[in-house]
Amino acid sequence: MRFIKKSQEYSEVFSNSYRLSGLYFNLRVKKQSDGFAVGIITGKKTGNAVKRNLVKRRVKAYLRNHTEYSGKNVKIVIISNDSTASASWNEICMDLDGLMKRIK
């Protein structure tokens, strides 16, 4: 698993991808041939920097604990909704589980 860091990669995923929506997250998914890559976006509406970083840390922890999804050859951009910062760990895990299972 690697993280998407360049804006060119984010643009590539947004232009040629399909969208999955959950309660706390939206995913943009693009098929590729060179492994699993993830980008995380949290907007300012989520809260201050502390809350945004908390959301990012929780998503990264989820991805570390659920390695079964890293075998897929896709690029995923995970976009948090405004209410994500107030969600519990279990709610975040359930939402991401449902979204990750729907990836084709």
Sketch the domain layout of the chain as residue ranges: 2-101
| pLDDT greater at residue 86 or residue 1 | 86
Look up the CATH number of domain 2-101: 3.30.230.10
DSSP string, 61-102: HHHHH-GGGGGS-EEEEEEE-GGGGGS-HHHHHHHHHHHHHT
| pLDDT greater at residue 67 or residue 100 | 100
Q: Which residue reads 């449902």 in tokens?
A: 98
Specify the pLDDT at position 24: 94
Cβ neighbours, 10 Å, residue 45: 12
In three-state secondary structure terms, 34 is: coil
Cβ neighbours, 10 Å, residue 83: 12
Specify the pLDDT at position 98: 93
